């Protein structure tokens, strides 16, 4: 009943011109969202009254970010990129004006290589404990771990270290992942819930398919214009994302902006234009093929 109520409401709130995606399928480790029935329904950054921060993130400009890497550096260990698919970078909570915080809770810092190493004059403690993949296993979520290994793939480091970085730097700044939001809280429950939430958002943005639908596919010889790349993504989402390129002009990143209806764990997102622009040239953009042996 709760899921149905929260899913139907945003359509009326957003108006006919808004692009909304997602359906609220809650993960087994979701917080107690029943308490949110007492809060006014709203999109993040659009609420007019004070709300329960377990129900609506205070940093409510949400970015689902993806990579187009061409190698991992750990191919010999079986760390391969997904074929014809962009890989996950993360899910970030920016402030409504586009600014952001990082590493908001040192007590839940699981990143072995914090970056940045200092936040507001304080050194971020280096984590030396078990990897976050062990947290997932402890909750019996082999399904989640298998998916992350395939689609949330790091470059230049083992993937579990990158997952730890994304949780520690970004998820600790999402108020809806605070431990107080979980009934009968079990240690690391919110970590697993965050990973589920990232994947739920990621599935709403199949970047490879968006681009391929407009004839934009990886090639080591063909180049593309920025207007063509943005046009393909805008056609699919109704909004302009950030597209990022390397210094040589190779397309390697997309950031999709949104407001969430209620907690991001619900996965109901209103697509928005980027606040950051693009870091790609107007012409001559390369969309490089993957290195042989780097895909599964």
User: Which residues are annotated as catalytic?
Assistant: 89, 166, 170
Name the token pair of 112: 């072995």
Name the token pair of 250: 């190779």
CB-based burial label for 260 (10 Å; 0-12, 13-18, 19+): buried
Structural contact between residues 171 and 192, judged by C-beta atoms closer than 8 angstroms: no
Alpha-carbon distance 214 to 230, whole Å? 11
Which 3 state secondary structure label does DSSP give 165?
helix
Alpha-carbon distance 165 to 176, whole Å? 18
Task: Provide the pairing of β-strand 242-245 with 251-260.
Answer: antiparallel
Structural contact between residues 243 and 253, judged by C-beta atoms closer than 8 angstroms: yes
């Amino acid at each position: 009943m709760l899921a149905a109520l929260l899913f139907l409401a945003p359509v009326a709130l957003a108006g006919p011109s808004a692009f909304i995606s997602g359906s609220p399928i809650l993960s087994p480790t979701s917080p107690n969202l029943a308490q949110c029935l007492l809060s006014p329904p709203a999109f993040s950054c659009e609420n007019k009254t004070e709300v329960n921060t377990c129900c609506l993130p205070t940093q409510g400009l949400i970015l689902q970010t993806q990579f187009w890497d061409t190698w991992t550096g750990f191919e010999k260990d079986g760390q391969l990129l997904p074929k014809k698919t962009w890989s996950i970078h993360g899910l970030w909570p920016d402030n409504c004006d586009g600014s952001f915080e990082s590493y908001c809770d040192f007590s839940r810092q699981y990143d072995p290589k914090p970056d940045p190493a200092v936040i507001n004059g304080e050194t971020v403690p280096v984590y030396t404990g078990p990897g976050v993949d062990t947290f997932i296993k402890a909750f019996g979520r082999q399904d989640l771990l298998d998916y992350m290994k395939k689609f949330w793939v790091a470059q230049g480091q083992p993937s579990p270290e990158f997952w730890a970085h994304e949780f520690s730097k970004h998820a600790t700044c999402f108020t809806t992942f605070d431990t107080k939001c979980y009934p009968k809280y079990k240690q690391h429950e919110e970590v697993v819930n965050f990973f589920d939430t990232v994947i739920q958002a990621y599935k709403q943005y199949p970047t490879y398919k968006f681009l391929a639908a407009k004839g934009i596919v990886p090639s080591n010889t063909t180049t593309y214009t920025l207007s063509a790349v943005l046009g393909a993504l805008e056609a699919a989402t109704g909004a302009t994302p950030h597209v990022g390129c390397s210094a040589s002009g190779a397309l390697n990143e997309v950031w999709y902006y949104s407001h969430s209806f209620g907690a991001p764990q619900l996965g109901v997102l209103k697509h928005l234009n980027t606040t950051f622009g693009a870091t790609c040239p107007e012409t001559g953009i390369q969309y490089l093929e993957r290195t042989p042996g780097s895909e599964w």
